[in-house]
A and B are shown apart, each in its own frame.
Chain A
């Protein structure tokens, strides 16, 4: 069964003078239960695809299907029960005046759950936070803890698909690994489908089975993770991206000799 199918997707932003085409003629198919990565440099339109999927950007054309349902202009609450998103910056994604408890209980109530108290405890437990974190405010949490809270919020409606918008790029390296392992465990435990955006090939390599490389709003290549590990991409841009992610390669220097 197909999780997400995108056909001929165009997304644009209407600027003051001209329209900016952020995503052009994109086709994508993500199987249910799969973990799929979208990579590319900043501004290549990766996050824009996620935002168009969730309905945060209204200016798009083409066709988007999620679990067999075609998406229209407006997203229903039913849709948000299936698809949730984790944002890039955990410092911006939590309301500064709402405690963890307020945040999660509001989310749970919006989705019509009863026994909110028990569910909050369970959610916090799922993301590796103890009950002591329940009444903390965001400013009392570290970046990694905030991202865990944000993940708990995304898990609250018990979604099938999780959209991850560079979930670790704002965190330092040791915390990154923790969050990635947590996401991996959660995917297995809850049979989730991941669509993950990143510019970090190592992160995507850790998490995903297939990746799509984007450049200037277009998908230039879709490859499996093995192809990536074998350094065997077809498209020159993918190769360039891969090489630059390997770090600075010391070239045999040819020191110009002074005559």
Chain B
């Protein structure tokens, strides 16, 4: 870690309190280890870049009504397909004369909503299935992993399409469909990690204290799986955004007039040769956010990977 490279001596008091090797309470120990993790994360400029973009996107989504220059739903057919930099419409207008910038800003809400929901559902489901399968072994493992294999065998978007078609179009169903297709890789990772952990002495040691399987899985195996899962989730975020955009693009995700980015690209496709910005601008937004998540994932891997910590 780069902590040792910091100038020492003239730290303010809170700083040395955070960097101490000898914490004085449980609380202190936790805060200090968080701070030291943050320091090593901060030393990675690309990861910080990703984090800043995502924080800005979060702020934009929260303050969308204040930031958006126009109502994203108001149509102005006399001013349709205005080019970039047109009066009063910085990023132009779409085929119905709606302000693209405002739609992008409001669309950030939908994108974040989808991403956060999927990121809450899929890894948790995968973690649960994978650790239970890996720890229990035997027929439980066989059944759970064959189910996982079945889900993995389908192309992701095709399976999501089938789910949305069965459940009906809409953002919530798109979230469920994407989550259903996203969990198997997490289950695989969690199971692989569990298999290496479950025979280790520290698991035997806690068994010798009379701990049951539930406690061992949640308290002792999960903490070791979570770091690799978090990294994997952030790397998958781009894919999740693109899957949501893909469903939107196919008309199975967010429904018009909702300003979901994929749906915006889908609408702009009709004019892509003459009015390229209508589809390109939301495409760039998706690209930027996906890139930010990837960079963040890279940085988090450096901080969280237990195999690296301790050196």
Contacts and interface: CB of A to CB of B under 8 A. Distances in A.
Interface residues of B, number: 27
Contacts of B58: none
10 contacts: A55-B207, A81-B210, A87-B205, A92-B200, A94-B205, A110-B210, A111-B209, A135-B25, A156-B209, A157-B209
B283 interface: no
Interface in A138-177: 138-140, 150, 153, 156-157
Interface in A91-145: 92-99, 101, 106-107, 110-111, 132, 135-140
Contacts of A54: 208
Contacts, number: 75
B9 interface: no
Given A80-B208, A132-B22, A136-B21, 19 more contacts: A56-B204, A75-B210, A87-B204, A92-B200, A93-B205, A94-B202, A97-B306, A98-B220, A98-B223, A99-B29, A106-B206, A107-B209, A110-B210, A110-B211, A135-B26, A139-B310, A150-B205, A153-B205, A156-B209
Interface in B225-260: none
B201 A93 contact: yes
B206 A135 contact: no
A92 B204 CA distance: 10
Contacts of A107: 206, 209
Interface of A: 54-56, 75-77, 80-81, 84-85, 87-89, 92-99, 101, 106-107, 110-111, 132, 135-140, 150, 153, 156-157
A91 to B, nearest CB: 9
A49 to B, nearest CB: 15
Contact of B219 (A84, A106, A132, A135): A106
A84 B210 CA distance: 11
Contacts of A56: 204, 207-208
Nearest to A153: B205
Contacts of B211: 106, 110
B202 A80 contact: no
B23 interface: yes
B195 interface: no
Interface of B: 21-26, 28-29, 33, 200-202, 204-211, 219-220, 223-224, 306, 309-310
Given A110-B211, A111-B209, A96 B220 contact: no
Top 7 A-B pairs ranked by shortest CB distance? A139-B310, A77-B210, A135-B29, A93-B201, A135-B23, A92-B201, A132-B22
B100 to A, nearest CB: 47
A135 B28 contact: yes
A259 B27 CA distance: 82
B204 A96 contact: no
A84 B201 contact: no
Contact of A95 (B33, B202, B208, B310): B202
Nearest to A97: B223
B201 A87 contact: yes
B206 to A, nearest CB: 7
